[in-house]
Amino acid sequence: MEQLNRFLLLLHVAAGSLALLSAIFAISFRKGAKNHNLAGKTYFWSMMAVAATAIPVSILRPNLMLFFVAIFSSYMAYAGWRFGRKSRYIMARQPYVEWAMLVVGIAMIFSGLVQVFTGSPMGWVLVAFGAIGLQFAVQDLRGWGKAEDFGTRISNHLSHMLGGTIATVTAVLVQQLVPRLDPSSPFKVIVWLAPTVIITPLIIIWARKVKATQKVRLFQK
């Protein structure tokens, strides 16, 4: 069992590293270009691999935080991929995945608050990620089945994909920094939340500009 856990962790780290690199490349390439599409597909499948390895690890070594964040990041990557594919934007299926994310978001917030009230400040991390996941799930459900213009669709694509990237960046920082901190150090919470606090405003600005101008480039006139 321990060997299986180590193997899954190795795959998890490799998939997370590939997801981070492909996200950087996807942002750098022009939307619609072959390089962008290839980087986007690589990012999507890497994020699916991240979740597929993180969930069993979180069960083998019970870790509620890892379990919830894996679901959150995989949902963001999936929804971002859906918005990025025009042919898959309006789907015939029922929004079961979106409803599931709504339930998970509520569960994350509840679990986080329980941890906070029992003396664990790390609960705020679950509250933050849960609130973001819940907000996106509600937004996606409200827009389900509606045809939207290019700017709105790509704005949704960007915000979801980059939201998933926040989880990937967070995971890298946590793996590198948190083990070096004292178990009771309050800086653990800062490490977990810093990428969200720093990157989220940039995502909002970019997504709003795309929606308003119908242009993807952040600094494009």
Q: In this structure, what token pair is assigned to residue 44?
A: 């999507």
- Arithmetic mean of pLDDT over the chain: 84
Domain boundaries, the chain: 2-213
Average pLDDT for 168-191: 80
The helix (H) or strand (E) run that includes residue 81 is: helix 64-84
Give tens-digit pLDDT for 33-78: 788 889 888 999 999 999 899 888 888 888 888 899 889 999 999 9
Distance CA 188, CA 99 (A): 31
Residue 214: left (phi > 0), alpha (psi -120 to 50), or beta? left
Q: Are 163 and 203 in contact (CB under 8 A)?
A: yes
The stretch 190-205 carries a mean pLDDT of 87
pLDDT at position 86 is 63
Sign of CA dihedral 86, 92, 93, 99: positive
pTM of the model: 0.84
